[in-house]
Amino acid sequence: MNGSLQILFNTLMMRHFSTRTRIFLALSLLLAVSDALFVLINYRAEQARFHTHIEQRAENLRNLFAMEVANTSLRMQQIATFIAAMPEVQQAFSLGRQTVEAEGGGLGGEKSRQARAHLLALVNDPWQKMRQLYDTRQLHFQIGEQATSFLRVHATEKFGDSLDDVRHTIMDAIREQKHTGGFECGRIICGIRGVSPVNNLPDTAANPSFIGVLEAGTSFHNTLDLIEKSGGASIAVLLAKSHLEETYFPDRLAMIPPDDFLSDGHFIEATLHPEIRSYLADERIAQLVRDKKSDWFQMNGKALAFTAFELRDYLGLIQAERPAVGTVVAWLPVDAEVSDLYHDLKVNIGYAIIAYLLIEGLLFLALQKAVEGLEGVIARQTRSLKDLAAHDALTGLYNRHYLDEFVARVYASSDRQRAPCSLAIMDIDYFKQVNDTYGHLRGDQVLQACAALVKARLRASDIAFRYGGEEFLLVFPATEIDKAQQICETLRTQLIGKSLGGLVIGKLTASFGVACRSATNETLERTLARADRALYEAKRLGRNRVEITMDNCAEAASDT
């Protein structure tokens, strides 16, 4: 059917339209397609930038989450250390350990029960204050190499069990008699913990004697509140059911209603937003959580960006091979950003239509005068499109796709004039540190500023290319290597003396490798390889310098 329509269209074109009209219609169709492609490419580029923005926000949230968990853990350590430093607590805890050991360990006996009650009475008041002030939800004393639970202030009926296969913060604190902390699940509850060693007072023994450890812990509630206020996002912490089965007491696990577990086996450990259950029921978001990715979706008329990343407990942060114990899901509104995205699309479409109509009018007028005029318009449009395709979108320099074509012309001119041709590879030193320290947006700004400086300082005959991520290629037609070296040295010193992309003056440096075409038959690849070796030498010698190859361009040119 499509073939028949095409034949009919071609027949009508041949019979009823003149050659000039057919050319006009063909060019109109070509321009329409070009405009549509231009709009599509720009829209895709805007989408890519938007997604990069989402990824950057996601990375910031991951870092903020880790920082706030660490801060909360430190607060719990301080609380545990404060209580552990009370002399009466140390004496009562020491007595408790002695009675448990005397009564066979584990649950102990009647004297252990009395010692436990005495310790509970001592810490109850500070415990209640800490609950009110810092939302402290666990206070737990442990003794012995197996981390035997002596007293759970938050669950006094549970004691005597060994924690050596569950509570790694406690085991490390006992083994090394040091402070530890982090997120971890226990027999009864999961939380952000801080563990402090408890020692006898120096005046009760020849030396301070290690008794055991005291752990303070809290839930994610206050931590999530702090993160959401700082990061502007909503957060939910999901725990894997399999991990709870490994750590919780069976009767504690049985207390969780089956409906509280999601279809993928996760349990919502903490969130300030109950709507997360409906979000996770959406297969798109469920897949995003499984893949630990970031994306945005329309949800109930709102544009929301979601990101998911692994929740790693204390031991998981130490042992990379240990599986994650859950997932952190964060989401934030992006209505404004999406609105800007669609607004830009509409603007691009509007510009494309206006440009199309203007060009159509010009084409029509030109065809009325002469076909030659039309060909001139086509040639200008072709050059414009080619120019756009030859430039790097970020820096405005020529891109690598244009390199072979340009250098071929330069080399041909050099051969005709028996003149040398030099080129240099410029590499921004330690650019990865700029991205890691200030973010990729600042890195882009630095690249743009460097490119602007390069374009402003080169001679009119020289040309610069974006050669790689942070690499630029400088081509110097009809230039000896010593002159190219001089230009690069000037450019290097100007880089040091400028504040580029908002960095402090002198923060940004660059290394240069300069080479000269050694013979008329040398290919671009060989010249680049020698320049690259010179660049490697500049980096080896400490960076922020210009190195050249030892080829003599003047002799090479005279050999021709």
Mean pLDDT, range 176-181, rounded to an integer:
93
| CATH 3.30.450.20 domain residues, the chain | 64-216
More confident residue, 11 or 271: 271
Mean pLDDT, range 115-140, rounded to an integer:
90
User: Average pLDDT over the chain, rounded to whole?
Assistant: 85
Kindly tell me if the per-residue pLDDT of 555 is higher than 50: no
Task: Provide the pLDDT for residue 8.
Answer: 47
Note the pLDDT tens digit of each residue in 184-224: 998 888 999 999 999 987 655 445 588 999 999 999 888 89
Kindly tell me if the per-residue pLDDT of 454 is higher than 60: yes
Token match 């996760």: residue? 266
Task: Provide the pLDDT for residue 15.
Answer: 53
Distance, in Å, from the CA atom of 179 to the CA atom of 77, rounded to the nearest integer, reads: 7
Instruction: Give the count of beta carbons closer than 10 Å to the beta carbon of residue 84.
Output: 23
Q: How confident is the model at residue 406 (pLDDT cuts 50, 70, 90)?
A: confident
Task: Provide the pLDDT for residue 10.
Answer: 58
Task: Provide the pLDDT for residue 76.
Answer: 93
Mean pLDDT, range 335-356, rounded to an integer:
82
pTM of the model: 0.58
Catalytic (active site) residue 110: no
The encoded tokens of residue 220 equal 């994610």
Kindly tell me if the per-residue pLDDT of 560 is higher than 50: no
Distance, in Å, from the CA atom of 252 to the CA atom of 518, rounded to the nearest integer, reads: 79
Task: Provide the pLDDT for residue 4.
Answer: 55
DSSP labels, 377-429:
HHHHHHHHHHHHHHB-TTT-SB-GGGHHHHHHHHHHHHHHHT--EEEEEEEET
Q: Which of 184, 470, 480, 547 is catalytic?
A: 470
CATH class of 391-558: alpha beta
Q: How confident is the model at residue 554 (pLDDT cuts 50, 70, 90)?
A: very low
539: burial class by Cβ within 10 Å (0-12, 13-18, 19+)? middle
Q: CATH number for the 64-216 domain, one of 1.10.40.30, 3.40.50.150, 3.30.450.20, 3.40.630.30?
A: 3.30.450.20
Residue 466 CB contacts under 8 Å (≥ 6 apart), including other chains: 392, 394, 395, 397, 398, 399, 400, 451, 472
Distance, in Å, from the CA atom of 434 to the CA atom of 428, rounded to the nearest integer, reads: 10
CATH of domain 223-338: 3.30.450
Task: Provide the pLDDT for residue 383.
Answer: 67
Percent of the chain with pLDDT over 70: 89
Distance, in Å, from the CA atom of 308 to the CA atom of 317, rounded to the nearest integer, reads: 17
Task: Provide the pLDDT for residue 378.
Answer: 57
Task: Provide the pLDDT for residue 309.
Answer: 94
Note the pLDDT tens digit of each residue in 482-536: 999 999 999 999 999 888 888 888 889 999 999 998 667 788 899 999 999 999 9
Task: Provide the pLDDT for residue 196.
Answer: 95
Task: Provide the pLDDT for residue 332.
Answer: 92
